[in-house]
Amino acid sequence: KTKSVGFDWNDYHTLQEINIWLSNIAEQYPDKVTLQKAGTSYEDRPIVGVHVSFAPGNENKSVFVDSNIHACEWIGSAVSTYILNQFLTSTDPNIREVADSHDWYFFPVINPDGFTYTHTTNRTWRKTRVPHDDNCIGADPNRNWDYHYNEGGTSDDPCSEMYSGPEAFSEPSMKSLSEYLLTIGDSLEGYISFHSYSQILLLPYGYTADHLDNYDELYDVGLKAIDALAQRYGTEYQVGDVAEILYVASGGSPDWVKGKLGTRITYTYELRDTGKYGFLLPADQIIPTAEETLDSFITIFQEFAKR
Ligand code: ING
Ligand code: ZN
């Protein structure tokens, strides 16, 4: 039931397995899925994604979905690939309605160097692999974006997990991804980024606790989304803006997308769990996590369609 061209959601997968699956679905659905490359990382890995349209040639607005900006947060790419697969294969009328309503960009692993390192060497690596310092490698890619860069919740210490890098967009993967996002430009209506863990549905901004222009609608829809999520397995989420509910954190990708591109629908998920396993969420929780997350994801886009 959950198999699709040799890929599955019973286990976590390597970068190579994920990228092969993306190539396979592009081959299997040539009129709907096209393989995309949003530049390359420091270690010269392509940042691979897909553009998905169920009504090619239409006037749909688009939504960008990413995961594994932080290398160790494996549940992120497991969930985003699950949602992508459901969009391609499900006959559920609610899923079909949402899938058809937008064009989609899915980029499951936007920090491919770090992600590879978590598979080969250090399972809990978070950052990129750019050698900014003799002793410590990498910058936090979610502190590296050029919008209110380095305005709090960052570190100038290359050994810190929240090192912002020597300057905005010092990390090639984030710079090239931002350039790719600019090419989507005006048609971009949504940005969804998957992190783990904490079970929180986050709204921008991270750099300030001031409320953004459409805070109220994002918050109201967010409450409906976590309600839908809880209905399946009782998993409890909170909703709030990053700086208010979590901590101040500047230079994050959602702040840049919201601030520079003005995407109306902008959410960051902190997926399961609340700390029992943390980043090491067992693989047998992938499918339940993905199912409940999809329920909330569908609710987000159905609610915005009514507004
Ligand atoms: N949390 C995010 C982090 O980068 C976040 C929270 C989201 C900050 C969006 C800024 C913007 O710290 C985890 N777990 O990585
Ligand atoms: Zn993260």
Percent of the chain topping pLDDT 90? 96
**CA-based nearest residue to 270, from 185, 161, 194:** 194
What pLDDT does residue 5 have? 52
Ligand 1: residue of 150, 246, 248 to mutate (most ligand atoms within 8 A of CB) is 246
pLDDT score recorded for residue 303: 98
Percent of the chain, pLDDT > 70? Answer: 98
Distance 67 CA to ligand 1 centre (A): 12
> Is the Cβ atom of 70 under 6 angstroms away from ligand 1?
yes
**What's the mean per-residue pLDDT of the chain?**
97
Q: What pLDDT is stored for residue 3 in this prediction?
A: 46
Q: How far apart are CA 126 and CA 71, in angstroms?
A: 5
| Pairing mode, strands 103-107 and 62-67 | parallel
Cα separation, 37 vs 26, whole angstroms: 13
Burial 29-67 (b: 16+ CB within 10 A, else e): eeebbeebebeebbeebbbbbbbbbbeeeeebbbbbbbb
Give distance in angstroms: CA of 288 to centre of ligand 1.
23
Q: Is the pLDDT of residue 295 over 90?
A: yes
- Ligand 1 near 202 CB (within 6 A): yes
148-170 tens-digit pLDDT: 999 999 999 999 999 999 999 99
Question: For residue range 203-255, what is the model confidence (pLDDT) as tens digits?
Answer: 999 999 999 999 999 999 999 999 999 999 999 999 999 999 999 999 999 99
Predicted ipTM? 0.99
6 pLDDT above the threshold of 90: no
Ion ligand 2 nearby residues (CB, 5 A): 70, 195
Q: What is the pLDDT of residues 103-145, one digit of tens each?
A: 999 999 999 999 999 999 999 999 999 999 999 999 999 999 9
Residue nearest (by alpha carbon) to ligand 1 atom 4: 142
Which positions ≥6 away from 121 have C-beta within 8 Å? none
CA of 198 to the centre of ligand 2 (A): 10
Asked whether the beta carbons of 118 and 77 are under 8 A apart, the reply is: no
CA pair distance 154, 162, nearest whole angstrom:
5
- The ligand minimizing its distance to the Cα of 144 is 1
146: Cβ contacts below 8 Å, ≥ 6 apart: 168, 169, 178, 251, 256
Decide whether any atom of ligand 1 lies within 6 Å of the 225 Cβ.
no
45-63 average pLDDT score: 93
List, in order, residues 6 or more apart from 125 with CB less than 8 Å away.
71, 72, 114, 117, 118, 138
pLDDT at 55: 85
Catalytic center residues: 270
pLDDT of residue 185: 81
Q: Is the pLDDT of residue 17 over 50?
A: yes
**Is the CB of residue 239 less than 8 Å from the CB of residue 223?**
yes
195 CB within 6 A, ligand 1:
yes
269 upstream amide cis, omega within 30 of 0: no
Name the more confident of 233 and 58.
233
Separation between Cα atoms, residue 9 and residue 284, nearest integer Å: 9
pLDDT-derived band at 1, boundaries 50, 70, 90: very low
Q: Is the pLDDT of residue 4 over 60?
A: no
At residue 20, the pLDDT reads 98
If pLDDT is split at 50, 70 and 90, which confidence band does 58 have?
Answer: confident
Ligand 2 centroid, distance to 38 Cα (angstroms): 20
